[in-house]
Amino acid sequence: MNQTEIIKNLPYQEPFLFVDLLTEVSENGVTGNYRFKEDAFFYEGHFKGNPITPGVILTETMAQIGVVCLGIYLLKNEILTTDKNPQIALTSNQVDFYLPVLPNEKVTVISEKQYFRFNKLKCAVKMINEKNELVCRGTISGMIIAE
């Protein structure tokens, strides 16, 4: 399964799809990018005259790239051979934030698998900006099955 097929199998669509490109995918982790569009719905009220990407959206971006894309890759044999759709549920997250992300800013998410067993995937995930500065990092876990 290649990067395009992984993105195609994501259970998200605009305006809630936060994956543009996957640059690396393996059994041990994933790296991908997303550019936050200036006209994204959440900038209208966060904050007046000084739009900043909400932390919950940064966490969602890290989860989509770092956990869901990796989970789809890990379940690729089931998905490709049975035509089953991946079902995902976030189970926990702990994220520390260091820098803001502004409209039109491109971020890179780097995820390393900590474990995948009994359909639970736990990853150490970090986000960096175009200046290679750490934006946020933490651990995100989710349940993923092909159904």
- For residue 128, the Cα-to-chain-centroid distance in whole angstroms is 13
Q: Compute CA distances 109 → 16, 18, 118, whole Å.
A: 17, 11, 25
Active site residues: 46
CB-CB neighbours of 5 under 10 Å: 13
Sequence-separated contacts (24+) of 36-45 with Cβ below 8 Å: 36/101, 36/102, 36/103, 36/104, 36/105, 36/106, 36/107, 37/103, 37/104, 38/103, 38/104, 40/15, 40/103, 41/15, 43/103
